[in-house]
């Protein structure tokens, strides 16, 4: 009877732990993935498949299927990051890359993972990690880059002030018009 009670208690604790992990991942919009290299078997949770508009049944559980979802321009860097970590040259696997969603769109993703099991020779046999959709951040970075180009290439002198009224930046036209170098002005009061 005591053994049954201990087993039920352990099962309850395991269930509660799994629930907490699932809630934390869902709350952070992190998709979970787990890859067993020996079996070439990939597990992804619902949040991961939702990131790309797939149902879990539509996700093909293999590394080759995942490689085919990668944007061609990102594929080599992702594979290099994966190999660097798998071969022990980096502490974690981390890559920002695009993945084709079911809709055909390219979603930007931050993937992080770690080898959680190695064989006797030190070869990676299991890697687990998370995926996070960073598409909105990448679009904001792109707009910021465009605005920066407009700022720097404008023919009109432009000064940017910080909240204290100090010069945070100036464009090339301001340097030419007023004869001051950008480095001499940044941090100085606008007066």
pLDDT of 91-105, one tens digit each?
999 999 999 999 999
Please say whether the beta carbons of 37 and 124 come within 8 A: yes
Rounded-to-integer distance, Cα 158 and Cα 171, Å: 6
Question: What is the enclosing helix (H) or strand (E) of 5?
Answer: helix 2-27
Please say whether the beta carbons of 80 and 129 come within 8 A: no
pLDDT given for residue 26 in this prediction: 81
Please say whether the beta carbons of 112 and 78 come within 8 A: no
Model confidence band, residue 35 (pLDDT cutoffs 50, 70, 90): very high
pLDDT given for residue 67 in this prediction: 85
pLDDT given for residue 9 in this prediction: 87
Q: In what side-by-side order are the strands of the sheet with 41-44?
A: 41-44, 30-36, 124-133, 106-118, 93-100
pLDDT given for residue 121 in this prediction: 93
| Backbone φ and ψ of 17, nearest 5° | -65, -45
DSSP, residue by residue, 137-165: HHHHHHHHHHHHHHHHH-SS--EEE-TTS
* Model pLDDT for residues 112-157, shown as the tens digit of each residue: 999 999 999 999 999 999 999 999 999 999 999 999 999 999 999 9
Question: What is the enclosing helix (H) or strand (E) of 47?
Answer: helix 46-51
pLDDT given for residue 141 in this prediction: 94
Of 103, 94, 88, nearest in space to 131 by CA: 94
Judged against a pLDDT cut of 80, whether residue 62 lies above it is answered with no
Q: Which of 4-8, 128-132, 156-160 has the lowest mean pLDDT?
A: 4-8
Please say whether the beta carbons of 132 and 113 come within 8 A: no
Judged against a pLDDT cut of 90, whether residue 108 lies above it is answered with yes
pTM confidence score: 0.76
Judged against a pLDDT cut of 80, whether residue 76 lies above it is answered with yes
Q: What percent of the chain has pLDDT over 90?
A: 66
- Using DSSP's 3-state secondary structure scheme, residue 89 falls into coil
Of 126, 173, 166, nearest in space to 151 by CA: 173
């Amino acid at each position: 009877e005591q053994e049954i009670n201990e087993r039920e208690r352990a099962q309850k604790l395991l269930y509660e732990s799994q629930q907490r992990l699932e809630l934390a991942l869902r709350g952070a919009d992190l998709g979970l993935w787990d890859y067993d290299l020996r079996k070439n078997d990939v597990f992804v949770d619902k949040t991961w498949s939702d990131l790309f508009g797939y149902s879990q049944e539509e996700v093909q559980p293999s590394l080759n299927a995942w490689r085919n979802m990668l944007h061609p321009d990102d594929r080599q860097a992702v594979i290099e990051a994966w190999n660097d970590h798998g071969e022990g040259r980096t502490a974690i696997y981390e890559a920002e890359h695009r993945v084709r969603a079911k809709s055909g769109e390219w979603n930007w993703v931050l993937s992080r993972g770690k080898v959680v099991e190695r064989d006797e020779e030190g070869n990676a046999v299991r890697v687990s990690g998370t995926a996070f959709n960073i598409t909105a951040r990448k679009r904001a970075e792109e707009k910021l880059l465009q605005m920066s180009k407009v700022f720097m290439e404008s023919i009109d002198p432009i000064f940017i002030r910080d909240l204290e009224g100090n010069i945070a930046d100036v464009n090339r036209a301001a340097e030419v018009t007023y004869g001051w170098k950008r480095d001499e002005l940044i941090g100085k009061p606008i007066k």
